[in-house]
Structure 1
Amino acid sequence: MKNVKTLLLFASVLLIVACSSDDDSPSTPKSTLKITLNGVQPLDGDLTYEGWIMVDGLPVSTGRFNTTSASTTKNFSIATADLEIATAFILSIEPKSNDDPAPSNTKILNGTFVAGAATLSINAMVGNFVNAVSPFSGSFIKATPSDNTGGIDNGNDDYGIWFIQNETTPGLINLPTLATGWKYEGWVVFNSGSTPVTTGKFTMASGVDSASPYSGNEPVPAFPGEDFLSNLPTGVDGNINGLPVVISIEPDVPGDATTPFFLKPISGTEGVNGNALSVTTNINALINGTAQIN
């Protein structure tokens, strides 16, 4: 019995020493990374924002979040050792369902740290719409080639939109090249602005777009566009006369919403100015931010 008591006493001493050792271990020093975002609107669909700092040339996540308004401030507690040598901040868009340890190709803002602060810009991450040498110009036509059996026009051109000047000439001249991780998507907005309907996704002014869910079966021009003839959303008649037309920039990420993303730099209205499309050139003035190490 005496030996048993001695063993129990020895075990208790070891446990107390171990706990004391754990309590005395220093915690990792943390500092605050403050992110201020302007124009970065809440994400729809199965998407989330994720911040990253570049440390020794490698991305380190600062955390995932969504915004609740176009102007947002977020504070993150990050290891001081990482923040002291961080060279840049990046904001990416990620699928909620796949927490990858590296950022996706879809990055919306970035900036380089100088004296603990970074100014965040969209231009290098998405695309530069300021081009004084070769400025963008755009237009579209009404046509429904996908139901013109034998090439005979059915006379229902009010039910289709094509971003062309004619069958061989694109309507989107000097379309800015998007960064990897982004695609354009055309939309016609029906029902007094309440129902945007896609014309398909694309990356270039020439070449077919990603889908033709509402078109017929006859050949169509090798350009972005859509005929609104069948399988339309409830309440949409397909007639585009007088309706707003938008080209958005969409995240090329699984889980992208079926409604337009908040980047909508190109727009026009059917029947106005010869169906011309205008572009918001300096989107960086509308969508930007800062990252501050405190």
Structure 2
Amino acid sequence: MKKILLTIAVVSTLTFAACNDDDDNTPKTSNLSLSVSGLENLGADYVYEGWIIVGGSPVSTGTFNVNDSGELSRSSFVVDSDMLSAASTFVLTIEPTNDPDPAPSSTKILAGDFSGNSASINSNIVGDFSSSWGKFILATPTDGENTNERSGVWFLEPGMPPQVGLGLPELDEGWKYEGWAVINGVPVTTGKFTKLAATDEFDGFSGPMDLPAPNGADGFFPGEDFLVNAPDGVTFPTDLRGSTIVITVEPNPDNSPAPFTFKPLAKKVADDAQDHVAIDLGTGPSVAITGTVSR
């Protein structure tokens, strides 16, 4: 009987010691909290993903979605304590929902350095649009002169020759500019572009003439004639007076055919606006996003 009791005692001691060893080896975790407003619903194909930068390397803090009201699907994330305490920077990216690449994408939307236990994050990593400016004219060069001249928009400064009409920061990989005309409440693209004095990536609404865009000493310019292939809810040709002209910053690849959150420049065209006359763009409704991360 004594031998049996002794055996039980030894086994119990070893088991207790093993449990203690397991507890000592269990990774310690902490919560990272994210507070931000102004993010939009990315749809089913994309998600937001947070990253902490530790020793120059990115470590994922997890993904989340945003609903149509701007509410985050979650704002608290469990992260390895040692990693979190050593993190220098927080970065938020846009990623494919089914992402085969474990590294961050090029589409970085928010970032900020930690100071103590918090980091103020902002969208300056996309660009500082606070001093952006722009001009455009109403014209339709792809169907000849003096024809439907208020049914096209071109981002340029008129002259002999025309000059660049947009003052915008150069975008990093992962982002592109896109022009829009909001016609009777329907946003209609003028095309995506990365260079301010170059043709954009779209001419699906322009006319048949072999004149893709007005050109000047600095090259061609972004813009579009609205003459053919009108989308649902819009009739071409149109009259852009009373419509709103907008420049957005879009993710690349793009999560949606609709305008994205960032709208640094916008202008409602006056009812008495003249064609071929420069119209100034004003500050748009959404220029920057800010937030806070706590650890």
Which residue of structure 2 lines up, in the alignment, with residue 246 of structure 1? 246
**Structure 1 residue matching 2:90: 3-state secondary structure:** strand
What displacement does 1:56 show? Answer: 1.8
1:93-132 to structure 2, matched below 5 A, reads 93-123=94-124, 125-131=125-131
Task: For 1:280 and 1:247, locate their aligned partners in 2 and report how far apart those are by CA, in whole Å.
Answer: 8
Task: For 2:62 and 2:94, locate their aligned partners in 1 and report how far apart those are by CA, in whole Å.
Answer: 12
Q: 1:231 aligns with which of 229, 235, 238?
A: 229
What displacement does 1:185 show? Answer: 0.4
CA deviation profile, 1:26-72 (whole Å, cap 9, x unmatched)? 33211100011122222246221110001121001111111223364
**Structure 1 residue matching 2:266: 3-state secondary structure:** strand
What residue ranges of structure 2 are gaps of 5+ in the alignment? 1-13, 215-219
Task: For 2:233 and 2:71, locate their aligned partners in 1 and report how far apart those are by CA, in whole Å.
Answer: 34
User: 1:33–1:76: 8 Å Cα contact kept in structure 2?
Assistant: yes
Letter in 2 for 1:160: G
Letter in 2 for 1:110: A
User: 1:46–1:257: 8 Å Cα contact kept in structure 2?
Assistant: no
Task: For 1:113 and 1:201, locate their aligned partners in 2 and report how far apart those are by CA, in whole Å.
Answer: 34
**Structure 1 residue matching 2:75: 3-state secondary structure:** strand
Which residue of structure 1 lines up, in the alignment, with residue 147 of structure 2? 155
Which residue of structure 2 lines up, in the alignment, with residue 267 of structure 1? 266
1:156-175 to structure 2, matched below 5 A, reads 156-166=148-158, 168-170=161-163, 172-175=165-168
TM-score (ref. length: structure 1): 0.81
User: 2:263–2:287: 8 Å Cα contact kept in structure 1?
Assistant: no
CA deviation profile, 1:77-131 (whole Å, cap 9, x unmatched)? 11112112111100011122324211111111111112121110211x1111234
CA deviation profile, 1:174-223 (whole Å, cap 9, x unmatched)? 222223321110011122x2x11100011222100011111123212211
Which residue of structure 1 lines up, in the alignment, with residue 28 of structure 2? 29
What displacement does 1:241 show? Answer: 2.3
My pick for the range that moved more, 242-251 or 166-175, is: 166-175
Which residue of structure 2 lines up, in the alignment, with residue 3 of structure 1? none
Task: For 2:262 and 2:44, locate their aligned partners in 1 and report how far apart those are by CA, in whole Å.
Answer: 15
Which residue of structure 2 lines up, in the alignment, with residue 213 of structure 1? 204
**Structure 1 residue matching 2:82: 3-state secondary structure:** helix
Q: 2:179 aligns with which of 176, 183, 186?
A: 186
User: 1:163–1:170: 8 Å Cα contact kept in structure 2?
Assistant: no
Task: For 2:257 and 2:192, locate their aligned partners in 1 and report how far apart those are by CA, in whole Å.
Answer: 11
Which residue of structure 1 lines up, in the alignment, with residue 193 of structure 2? 202
**Structure 1 residue matching 2:59: 3-state secondary structure:** strand
What displacement does 1:23 show? Answer: 9.8
Letter in 2 for 1:143: A
User: 1:129–1:280: 8 Å Cα contact kept in structure 2?
Assistant: no
Q: How many positions carry a matched residue from both structures?
A: 262
**Structure 1 residue matching 2:168: 3-state secondary structure:** coil
Identical counterparts, % of pairs: 40
Letter in 2 for 1:32: N
| Cα separation, partners in 2 of 1:232 and 1:281, compared to 1, 3 Å | closer
Letter in 2 for 1:172: G
My pick for the range that moved more, 90-99 or 255-264, is: 90-99
